[in-house]
Structures are given as structure tokens and as C-alpha cells.
Structure 1
Amino acid sequence: MSVVVPTLNEERNIAWVLERMPACVGEVVIVDGFSNDRTIEVARATRPDVVVVNQRGQGKGAALRTGFETATGDYIVAIDADGSMEPAEIEYYVAALDIGYDLVKGSRHLRAAGSLDLTPVRRLGNSALVGAVNLMWGSQLSDLCYGFFGFRRTCLEQLALHARGFEIETELAVHAISSGMRIAEVPSVELLRHHGQSHLSAWRDGWSIFRLLARERLPVPARPLVDALDRRGLEAVGS
């Protein structure tokens, strides 16, 4: 199985994440958003077999899409690089995929789960978004805006992911629901980021998610995927 880790200036956090990967992880794909610190050097020193790729496009969604296309494992699990997610929990995702689920989402609202980092604003926003998705799609999700999840690689094309930013977690869920995939939630404890500041903006990214939900439900033509590429990535390809 493969684990995809999007990174941007996480040199103080990435070693903790890689050191705690369980034995079931056969491949770790680091998708770097052109970090200007030693993130990649630390990652390679900690786990020499990591696969490192530069993300195509801008934002977390673009980074994850790049990682998903690079990963070779039958199962793909996404985890953040900031130490806010316990890598040992990956075994729960693998177990759920093993018994037949197509998409497994981490939830901070199940028994034995929780969060040390949900501010009142984030908690309110997440509740509103979960309620909107459950109402519009008839689902019974308990959590939505959480980036710890896993799925079968064979489902990647069907998921048809286009999102550029943090809204990719919502896009993944609603596309899985619309496609009739078998979905499970597993308990997860969200920890505090170990070092540095989060790249998430509750208001900006929450608004992006609401716009995504509107696009998914309104009868508008599908928009083509257009990524804004970074010149550094193009230069790396040509070298």
C-alpha cells in the first residue's frame, strides 16, 4: 500500500510522521509544494526509500492529485505532514479496505475519536458542511473536512478529482457517494500541529467548499481541469 504526504516547509515535522509509519506501508510518496527549507533532505534521511515528486498545480488538492497519480499501491492513504495525524492509525484504514470498502474516511466524531485542534469556528463550519452534504446527498457522514482518508487505487478514475485546494476532501466524499462506492468511517484523533502554522484558512477554504457543493448540485456544465503550473516544476522536468 502507498501513503501520500503533501508537504510545504515541514522540515521540523516530517521526520516524526515518517518514523511512525506502520509496517503495512510499502511506499511513501512525498509531494512537495516547492519547499524552501530542508523538508526533502530530512525526509530522505529519515526514510531513504521515499518517492519524492513536485506537485503539479497549486494548493493541497493539486498536491494530492499528483501523489495519487504517482502512487503504485493497491491502497492509497493520505496523511498530513504536520504531525496532526497519528500514522499508526493507518492500520485502521487498511483493515477497512481489506474487508471490502472503497473509501475510508477518518472521523473525529466517532467513539474513541476526537480533536485537540478544532477551534469553535472550525467546529461550527465543519458541522454546517457535514449537514449540507448529508442533506443534499442523503448520506450519514459524521465528519467531512479532515484530510486523513484511504481508498482503492482502482477507484481513482471514478472519483474524478479536480479540486485545487482543501476542498478536495469534500469533493472526494461527494463523488464517492454519487458513484455508489462503499464508504466507511474510522475513529481518528486529531493532534496539534507540532511546529509551524497551518496553511488552512477557515473562512477562505470554507467558502471554497460551499462553492464546490453548489457546483456539484447545480445543473452547470462540467468545468475542464486547468492547473496553474509552477515554473520551478517545469524547469525540473526539463533538467
Structure 2
Amino acid sequence: MSSFLRPARSDEDPLGPPSPAGGNPDHHERPADRYRPVSCHFAITPPVSVVIPAMNEAGNLPYVFKTLPGWIHEVVLVDGNSTDDTVRVARELRPDITVIPQRGKGKGDALITGFAACTGEIIVMVDADGSADGTEIASYVSALVAGADFAKGSRFANGGGTDDMTGIRKLGNRVLTALVNAKFGARYTDLCYGYNAFWKRCLDEIRLDCAGFEVETLMNIRVVKAGLRVQEIPSHEYHRIHGDSNLRAVRDGLRVLKVILRERASRRSRPRPAVIAMETGRGEAR
């Protein structure tokens, strides 16, 4: 069994580490050796950081934080110069939260800022609009501790879904996904989705340098070019709870296309990785 996980005991506190081996109260485990019960079936040692980029999302944060698992190591909120009570609400909901003020602009800049502040070995990206279900984080983390380098959320894998995408956005996503698959040898079912998780060490491989919304596409392309092992995770996207989305189908689609063409022109890749669909239930590459 992987050193990262083991079956959880029924007598373990789901919000805290289990008793030290042998029951010796004088034994002190290192933080890296501390098991975090994820479910009644298994516990993990790697600390998990959740990065949430937010700008004027005070009304949505209570819903976002409510679904986050109690076993995560830390939440890093990157505040994009909010003019509402985003920071105050975040600190009231989670006093131990790390709040980082964003110096630049754009979602990519916010994520890169948040990633740099993470102290966990696993990083999970979660939007602040309430569209993501934090309970799904267990599936992402399970994929990583089982051997994946990058766990990629998909609304179009078997078991996923979306309440939020318009017809034009679905069409654009389908076309762009097909283009990336054809040009980079990937097997993605969903390209433009921001709910992902990965080992922090992967940042050295993909070296993000994108400030805007298209950062998600850049990540998906560069993990393929780096030869990292990818597993798709079926995910359901819900409607934004409060406020208006900043997404613009045509504008953002063109920005994503520009990234694809730029990465294709500078292509220097290793052998392509396996992309595994979680719904196969077997763990072998397709």
C-alpha cells in the first residue's frame, strides 16, 4: 500500500490525526507523517491546500466554505482587490485562513500567487462563486495519492455535469478540447474547467506564466507536454449563487485559442501521459 494512504480505523476522529503507533502518548509524529482521515475507508499523509481566487464574492463564500472537507490542511484565499466584505467574511468563516492580496490582475495571476503561498503537498483549485462542490475534493485527492500527478475535473466525463454552461459555451469548449487533443495527443473530455488538483511539485514542470482566464487551458496543455500522469475526475458544476460571471464566450474563447496556438508553436514535449477516466473503475490507461 502507498505510504501516502492507509485504511482508516473506525475509532479515529475524522477531524484530527489518529493516535500514534503503539499508543505511546510521548511519541510525536512529524507533520508529514500525520494521517488525515478522508473517509471511513482511507486516510492520507500529504497535507492538502485549497486555493480560492476571489473578487467581490462575500455572498458566495459561506456556501463555498460549507462544502470544504474538515481534513484539509489550509485554505489560501487570494483577494483581487475586493470592494465588498470578501476578506472579512472569509476570516469569520475560517479564522485560520491565509489571505493574500493580489498585486496583479486576472485569474491566472491570482492562482499563481496562491500556489506560491501554499504549504501543502497537494494543491486544489476551487472557484469562489459557489459553482463547485467541495466534497468532490476527496475524489481528486484519492486520484493523486493513487498515482496521478494531475487530477483534472471534467463536466463531460461519465458522472459529471453542468448547470451553468450556455449552448455556445458548450460548443466552444467542445471545439477547443478537440483541438488540444488533436494537437497535443491528449484525451481530455473537458478543457476549460477550473476545478483541478495536483502535486505541488508539478509546478516546476509546467511553469505557469499566464495572467488571465486561459490559465486553465495552459495548465492542461503543459501537463501533457511535461508527460505528467493525468486522471479525469467527473465533476458537477452548479450555477453561480450570487453576482454576475466575468466570462465572455467569444472574448475568452479567442484568448484560449491564442494560448493553444502559442503552445503548439513552441512544442517541446516528452511522450504523452496516460489520461484516465475515473468512471472506468479500473485505473488503466485508455
Give yes or no for the alignment of 1:137 onto 2:194: no
Larger Rg: 2
Structure 1 segments (4+ residues) deviating >6 Å: none
Higher RCO (C-alpha 8 Å, min separation 6): 1
Structure ranking higher in helix proportion? 1
CA deviations over 1:164-207 (Å, ceiling 9, x no partner): 11111010011000000000000100000000001111111111
Alpha-carbon RMSD across the aligned residues, in angstroms, is 1.0
Aligned residue type for 1:188: S
> Per-residue deviation at 1:56?
3.2
Q: Give the TM-score normalised by structure 2.
A: 0.76
Partner residue in 1 for 2:125? 78
Residue number in structure 2 paired with 1:223: none
1:9 aligned residue (41, 56, 69): 56
The aligned counterpart of 1:185 is 232
Which TM-score applies when normalising by structure 1? Answer: 0.90
> Which ranges in structure 1 are unaligned for 5 or more consecutive residues?
221-239
Structure 2 unaligned spans of 5+: 1-47, 268-286
SS at match of 1:66: helix
The alignment partner of 2:92 has SS state of: helix
Give SS of 1:176's match. Answer: helix
The 5 Å alignment of 1:1-239 reads 1-219=48-266
Q: Which amino acid aligns with 1:96?
A: A
Q: For residues 120-171 of structure 1, what are the alpha-carbon distances to aligned partners after superposition, in whole Å with 9 as ceiling and x for unaligned?
A: 0110110011000000011110001000000000111111101111111010
Q: Separation in 1 of the partners of 2:182 and 2:94?
A: 43
| 1:59 and 1:166 in contact (8 A); partners too | yes
**Corresponding letter in the other structure for 2:81:** F
CA distance in 2, matches of 1:139, 1:155: 18
Identity %: 45
Aligned residues of 1:125 and 1:206 also touching (Cα < 8 A): yes
Aligned mates of 2:177, 2:67 — CA distance in 1 = 30
1:75-132: CA deviation from partner (whole Å, max 9, x where unpaired)? 0000000000001111111000110111111000112210001100110110011000
Q: How many residues align?
A: 220
CA distance in 1, matches of 2:92, 2:135: 20
